[in-house]
Amino acid sequence: MKYIREFIVRTVVGGVFVVVPAYLTFLLLLKGMQSAAGLVRPVAALMPGGIATQDVLSLAAILLVCFIVGAAMTTRVGRAVRQQIERVVFERLPGYGLIRSLTQRLAGQGDETAWKPALVEIEEALVPGFIIEEHEDGQYTVFVPSVPTPFAGAVYILTPARVHHLDVPFTQAVQSISRWGAGSRELKANMQAPHPHS
């Protein structure tokens, strides 16, 4: 009974990390389209299609604004402004750092040492996990996810001898966990020797 309850809680939490950001993005997009509707209404009135044209132009306007902001963020000034906003506002929001780090890893960007796939020794088994950080004494903070929800699980602090880095992309490790371990043979084949502390 306890196992079933824990499984349900972990699965729900894992689903929340996927559904909530997607739902909030969708709501913000709809709200942005409603705000842009007033701006594009005169142009839409000149084109055939009526409301449908207005919706398409509203969506295009929002995507254009997102593109411009994204392009501005690639400049030196834009990066400095973004970092300041993140420090002052977003980093105070619970879960923001986690979601940002995961998004960057899924996009192939960000800190190469954070969320690095690994097989870790827990009791007498090798368990898939992700290296979150390395300590000054060489130990690792490792996140071990629950199957099949890669973003819910337990955190361990382990010695380097118990952490085996994997030479695989982040997405491959996530896929193996979400498929109840299918693909673990490939993960094990790409396991590296424990990294000695320098």
Domain boundaries, the chain: 2-92, 116-189
pLDDT of 26: 79
Q: From CA 64, how far away is CA 57, in angstroms rounded?
A: 10
The number of angstroms, rounded, from the C-alpha of 177 to the middle of its chain's C-alpha atoms is 15
pLDDT of 153: 84
17-70 pLDDT per residue, tens? 667 767 777 787 778 777 777 777 777 667 766 556 777 788 888 888 888 888
- The CATH number of 116-189, from 2.30.30, 1.20.120, 1.20.950, 3.40.50, is 2.30.30
Q: From CA 61, how far away is CA 154, in angstroms rounded?
A: 43
Among 57-66, 84-93, 119-128, the minimum mean pLDDT is found in 84-93
Q: Buried b / exposed e across 114-127, counting CB within 10 Å, b at 16+?
A: bbbbbbbbeeeebb
Give the three-class secondary structure for 127: strand
